């Protein structure tokens, strides 16, 4: 399996999640508990082996000075962390540079990251910025994705926190998908609660895909399952959004899905491997 969105998983991140949940009064429940608890790199590799996970894709960015607890960068990897993970465990951990359109020099930083062997795409934690997908401020990043031949992953739908939810409405992908036809866009988090609009966007545009991160299979709506059984077999990518969904506990839920075997294989890894062409074909320990 390939998990297209896994946040930083090391034990030092756990207190940050607990603190921000308490600080903001969020109803989020972490799936990182028991066998799926926060763990060091070696422990995560062992877990991945147990769960038949070949590769985790992790958002990567620098942490700006003075960042509050609700700054997404806390929960992403630093570039140095990503470099060390990728070097120690080739192919098991790859990164997506998480863009910060309001920070000077960020486009250049994204370009630099895309020249790193670990970088397989670009990423947008949408609700951290006061911009919808079709805002001109993102065009330089879409141009980078086109130039380097990598996908662009963005959180769609509502935010789990106290942010402007409408920023993630899936209808805003129409402009970028049309203007950048060679870029594959992944609308993450199923675009909920606008699932119907998300599915429609993927059907309308050949370069729009849908990711399941943060939503465990046992909670997937019938509308999504029908889509996977039908026209969406080659459109849906599986992700956990760890620590919101745990890797070991989700396996039985995936196995229990009432979808054809071919669709399940495409969901687990086939679609991600086809879209993220920089993911190594062979992986190390």
Going from the C-alpha of 94 to that of each of 116, 129, 283, the distances in angstroms are: 10, 24, 11
The proportion of the chain whose per-residue pLDDT surpasses 90, expressed as a percent, equals 89
Is residue 78 in some structural domain?
Answer: yes
pLDDT at res. 253: 95
Print the domain residue range for 139.
Answer: 2-275
Amino acid 69: pLDDT: 87
Across the range 182-197, mean pLDDT stands at 97
Average pLDDT value for residue range 262-269: 97
What is the end-to-end Cα distance of the chain in Å, rounded? Answer: 15
Task: Answer yes or no: is pLDDT of 48 > 70.
Answer: yes
Reported as a single tens digit per residue, the pLDDT across 137-150 is 999 999 999 999 99
pLDDT of 103 over the 80 cut: yes
Total-model pTM: 0.96
Answer for the pair 153, 187: CB distance below 8 angstroms, yes or no.
Answer: no
Residue 152 in domain: yes
Is residue 162 over pLDDT 70? Answer: no
Decide if pLDDT at 110 tops 70. yes
Is it the case that residue 15 has pLDDT exceeding 90?
Answer: yes
| Residue 171, both tokens | 């209808």
More confident residue, 204 or 282: 204
Whether residue 163 lies inside any domain: the answer is yes
284 within some domain: no
Q: From residue 19, how far is each of 14, 28, 118 by CA, in Å?
A: 9, 12, 30
Q: At residue 22, does pLDDT exceed 90?
A: no
Q: Is residue 110 part of a domain?
A: yes
Query: Is 280 contained in some domain?
Result: no
- Give the chain's domain count: 1
Q: Examine residue 283 and state whether it is found in any structural domain, yes or no.
A: no
Q: Determine the average pLDDT of the residues in 26-46.
A: 91
Predicted pLDDT of residue 176: 98
pLDDT at 282 over 80: no
User: Has residue 211 been placed in a domain?
Assistant: yes
- CA distance linking residue 203 with residue 207, whole number of Å: 9
- Chain segment 217-264, per-residue pLDDT in tens: 999 999 999 999 999 999 999 999 999 999 999 999 999 999 999 999
Predicted confidence at residue 92, as pLDDT, reads 97
**Residue 121's domain is classified under what CATH number?**
3.20.20.140
| Cα four-point dihedral sign 238, 244, 248, 254 | negative
């Amino acid at each position: 399996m390939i998990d297209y969105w896994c946040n930083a998983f090391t034990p030092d991140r756990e207190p940050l999640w607990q603190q921000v949940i308490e600080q903001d009064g969020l109803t989020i429940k972490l799936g990182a508990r028991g066998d799926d608890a926060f763990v060091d790199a070696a422990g995560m590799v062992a877990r991945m082996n147990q769960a038949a996970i070949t590769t985790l894709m992790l958002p990567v960015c620098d942490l700006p000075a003075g960042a509050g607890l609700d700054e997404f960068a806390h929960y992403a990897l630093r570039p140095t962390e990503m470099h060390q993970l990728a070097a120690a465990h080739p192919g098991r951990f790859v990164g997506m540079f998480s863009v910060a359109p309001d920070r000077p020099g960020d486009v250049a930083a994204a370009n630099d990251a895309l020249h790193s062997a670990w970088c397989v795409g670009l990423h947008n934690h949408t609700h951290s910025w006061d911009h919808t997908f079709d805002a001109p401020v993102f065009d330089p990043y879409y141009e980078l994705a086109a130039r380097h031949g990598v996908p662009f992953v963005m959180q769609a739908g509502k935010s789990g926190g106290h942010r402007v939810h409408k920023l993630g409405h899936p209808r805003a992908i129409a402009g970028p998908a049309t203007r950048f036809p060679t870029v594959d866009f992944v609308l993450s988090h199923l675009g909920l609660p606008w699932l119907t609009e998300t599915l429609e966007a993927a059907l309308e545009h050949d370069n729009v895909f849908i990711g399941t991160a943060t939503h465990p299979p046992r909670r997937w709506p019938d509308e999504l399952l029908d889509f996977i059984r039908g026209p969406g077999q080659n459109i849906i990518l599986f992700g956990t959004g760890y620590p919101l969904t745990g890797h070991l506990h989700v396996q039985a839920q995936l196995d229990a899905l009432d979808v054809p075997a071919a669709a399940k294989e495409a969901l687990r890894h086939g679609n991600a491997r086809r879209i993220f062409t920089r993911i190594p074909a062979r992986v190390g320990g």
